[in-house]
Amino acid sequence: MFIKELIIDDARIYWDLRLEALKASPEAFGSSYEDALQTPLHTIEERIKRDRNNYILGAFNEDKQLIGMAKFTREQGLKLKHKGTVTGVYVSSGYRGKGIAKSLIKEILSRGKEIEGLKQINLTVVSTNNVAVKLYKGLGFETYGIEKNALIYNGKGYDEELMVYFL
């Protein structure tokens, strides 16, 4: 397994994995599969344009297939640029339990320490996703709040843990 920043040429494989994530775990993401299907590829290519403050990491297997992903976005503006956010963390079901998500997050934390002025990295995770909560806490994230009914899917509310990692 290796990790690299995705580039525009990776847009199609990234979007295929993103759609898989939204379909397989609809309660874990703020976006819906149904809405995502309407997104044109050129929009995805724009999202992948990267710099050290905004990027998507991909985890690839030995056959160079994209099997995991995580996105980092730094906040903009004078009062917010000390914060970054991790979103869209997903690993294909056949590759879970192998430390891939942990490797992706560790890479984001490592890169975050190199970004001048960045003081904290935030993320949210559905409270019932015990594996993810345990992973993030094990990496040093702290819970600072719970948003009740942060997501509603099929009439059921899902709480999200708001977590922060201080650099």
Per the prediction, the chain carries an average pLDDT of 96
Q: What is the mean pLDDT of residues 121-142?
A: 97
**β-pairing verdict for 142-153 and 120-126:** unpaired
pTM recorded for the entire structure? 0.95
CATH code of the domain in which 86 resides: 3.40.630.30
How much is the pLDDT for 51?
Answer: 80
Decide if pLDDT at 104 tops 90: yes
- Note down the domain range covering 31: 2-166
pLDDT at residue 49 tops 90: no
**What is the pLDDT at residue 84?**
98
| Helix spans in 30-99 (H) | 33-36, 41-48
C-beta of residue 67 within 8 angstroms of C-beta of residue 92: yes
Percentage of residues in the chain having pLDDT higher than 70: 100
Q: What is the count of structural domains for the chain?
A: 1
Confidence of residue 50 (pLDDT cuts 50, 70, 90): confident
State residue 81's pLDDT score. 96
